[in-house]
């Protein structure tokens, strides 16, 4: 059954009782979950969760950019930034090595486009650079997820991506890279086979797309 959700709700923070229900469903699916007040709390928590000196890859994410987490992980010098290293490498001769670095860091930190009330995470990507790490290649994953990304079910998650996220990501990509985005790859994570590997920091506030 498909649940009809007004487009406006794609930007509204889910209420506390819904977040608790989502957290319980995610835990049932072997994701570690913490409900945090806001992006500032998530920024502090990520510093606690990522060991100093770890190799870290950050997926492109407005949530990470706006919260300051992206800057902390890639510019502070406390970690081995995969993103910073990869931009110095030759795309023509070292692309295979770059992809291995992106897929298999010690920790990958990012976000998702939607999280369902049944405990699934849904990510979309034009390049797929973060999806291998999300799905199992990285040793640990941390997702920072704003409360507006909660949806009832998978069909609503896909509608959120197509009707809400894509146009905003297009604008970001045109400004940053001069090319549009595309829904080339969509990853659905229904459960985590290795308990403790994936952590969801679920925020009470709306942030990101």
Instruction: Examine residue 137 and state whether it is found in any structural domain, yes or no.
Output: yes
Residue 180 pLDDT greater than 90, yes or no? no
Residue 208 lies in a domain: no
Q: What is the pLDDT of residue 44?
A: 98
Contacts 24+ apart (CB under 8 A), 3-7: 3/152, 3/153, 3/155, 3/156, 5/151, 5/152, 5/156, 5/159, 5/160, 7/163, 7/164
pLDDT of residue 2: 47
Shortest CA distance to 13 belongs to which of 120, 150, 158? 150
pLDDT tens column, 122-156: 999 999 999 999 999 999 999 999 999 999 999 99
Q: Is 110 a member of any domain?
A: yes
Query: Hunting for tokens 């649940």 — which residue is that?
Result: 3
Rounded to two decimals, the pTM is 0.94
| CATH value at residue 75 | 3.40.50.10420
In which band, very low, low, confident or very high, does the pLDDT at 9 lie, cut at 50, 70 and 90? Answer: confident
Q: Establish if 209 belongs to a structural domain.
A: no
Q: Radius of gyration (Cα) for the chain, nearest Å?
A: 16
pLDDT digits (tens, 9 = 90+) for 90-121: 989 999 999 999 999 999 999 999 999 999 99
**How much of the chain, in percent, has pLDDT values that exceed 70?**
96
């Amino acid at each position: 059954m498909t649940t009809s959700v007004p487009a406006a709700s794609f930007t509204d923070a889910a209420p506390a009782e819904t977040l608790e229900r989502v957290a319980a469903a995610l835990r049932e699916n072997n994701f570690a979950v913490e409900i945090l007040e806001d992006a500032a709390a998530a920024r502090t928590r990520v510093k606690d969760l990522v060991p100093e000196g770890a190799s870290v890859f950050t997926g492109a994410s407005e949530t990470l950019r706006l919260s300051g987490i992206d800057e902390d992980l890639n510019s502070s010098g406390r970690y081995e930034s995969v993103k910073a290293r990869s931009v110095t490498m030759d795309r023509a001769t070292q692309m295979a090595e770059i992809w291995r670095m992106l897929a298999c860091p010690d920790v990958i930190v990012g976000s998702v486009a939607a999280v369902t009330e049944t405990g699934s995470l849904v990510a979309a990507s034009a390049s797929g650079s973060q999806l291998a790490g999300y799905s199992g290649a990285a040793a640990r994953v941390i997702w920072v997820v704003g409360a507006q990304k909660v949806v009832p079910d998978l069909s609503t998650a896909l509608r959120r991506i197509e009707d809400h996220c894509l146009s905003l990501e297009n604008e970001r990509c045109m400004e940053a890279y001069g090319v549009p985005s595309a829904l080339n790859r969509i990853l659905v994570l229904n459960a985590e086979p290795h308990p403790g590997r994936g952590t969801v920091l679920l925020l009470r506030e709306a942030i990101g797309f």
